[in-house]
Structure 1
């Protein structure tokens, strides 16, 4: 991704027998933004990783890119996500330079197959609303189904830089 992607909705989709279901990948040197992305009513069946956001995808067409061109990832929501046979439901890998901001999960049951299949998060901030299984990352705020704060995260790993446009 270079440039910018915004106002995208992915809904009513089935992903099966796949390594990855939905993925956003970018890296330093790409610049631009990924924002206002909505995923709704997705089903995962026999998927290794259901949701992936990766900010160190270091493939560039050539060596001539500006490593200081950092992409912005924000305002990404996932709702009504269900499935079975999912090894890792969520893997969000932000970084100190490229944090992932304002990610929301609502109504999710990934149907994992054993105890090691958990949310994996780094340098992400956001919230979980209502019921989400398996347990979400510690660095996400927890809200009840009425969107009332239940537990504020104490470990979001993100500086106070304002990345909004």
Structure 2
């Protein structure tokens, strides 16, 4: 297990199997929370996924980065991340996925609900061309699997762009679900949905998504969020105090 938790208005990084972050206020010049699992061929070989992670009741300020970033070092896999009750102010993006050709691995079964965002550049941002590599020995045929990405119950005000969702040619990102979203933009003349090489569905979303995320208005639905609790959520933390004499 490799862990760096710098709370009190600093960056939180999570590697491998730290499982719950809650009730944090973070101001950062980078991602407020970054979930990673290894870089290119080294992450693939080590094969230790970051999974079963709970993030909730988070307030983030990060003008140049994300509230929560998944990747870009995700070659060991990231799965089953549950994030809820999130607030971002003056932040570049909300829950961002970063990957690239050569990473391999996967980011899948990501569940996000209850985001309140104010003064953002992007509400939804998934990047398939996050380019740098550890060295020149990465496998250019190692394509990442990005699937089962779910966002629901989002209110965002004063945003520049609704979404930039860029998959990888011949390796589309699939199973993207977005529901119950209301976004006001600072300039509605801009292209609000910039989507390439992605597949998914949406319901009750304003502004209306690009056709690659087909809107099913005839039958509204909610994107899934797991009901069952993870074991970490049942752990009872004890408080203690001491008096120096």
Asked whether the equivalents of residues 208 and 215 of structure 2 are also in contact (C-alpha less than 8 Å), the reply is no
Asked whether the equivalents of residues 70 and 98 of structure 1 are also in contact (C-alpha less than 8 Å), the reply is yes
1:54-93 Cα shifts (integer Å, max 9, x gaps): 0111111111100101000011111001110111121100
What is the rounded CA distance, in whole Å, between the counterparts of 2:143 and 2:198 in structure 1?
16
Determine the structure 2 residue equivalent to 1:80.
153
In structure 1, which of residues 36, 42, 47 is the aligned counterpart of residue 120 of structure 2?
47
Determine the structure 2 residue equivalent to 1:70.
143
Larger Rg computed on CA atoms: 2
TM-score (ref. length: structure 2) = 0.57
Asked whether the equivalents of residues 149 and 175 of structure 2 are also in contact (C-alpha less than 8 Å), the reply is yes
Q: What aligned pairs does 1:2-151 form with structure 2 within 5 A after superposition?
A: 2-115=75-188, 116=190, 118-129=192-203, 131-144=204-217, 146-147=219-220
Unmatched segments (≥5 aa) in structure 1: 149-165
Flag the structure with higher helix content.
2
Asked whether the equivalents of residues 104 and 126 of structure 1 are also in contact (C-alpha less than 8 Å), the reply is yes
Determine the structure 1 residue equivalent to 2:3.
none
What is the rounded CA distance, in whole Å, between the counterparts of 2:132 and 2:116 in structure 1?
29
More relative contact order, 1 or 2 (CA 8 Å, 6+ apart): 1
Asked whether the equivalents of residues 70 and 97 of structure 1 are also in contact (C-alpha less than 8 Å), the reply is no
Asked whether the equivalents of residues 20 and 47 of structure 1 are also in contact (C-alpha less than 8 Å), the reply is yes
Determine the structure 2 residue equivalent to 1:160.
none
Name the CA shift for 1:146/1:138 in 2 (closer, same or farther; >3 Å): closer
Moved over 3 A (4+): 145-148
Report the number of matched residues: 147
Asked whether the equivalents of residues 12 and 42 of structure 1 are also in contact (C-alpha less than 8 Å), the reply is yes
Name the CA shift for 1:117/1:111 in 2 (closer, same or farther; >3 Å): farther
Flag the structure with higher strand content.
1
TM-score (ref. length: structure 1) = 0.84
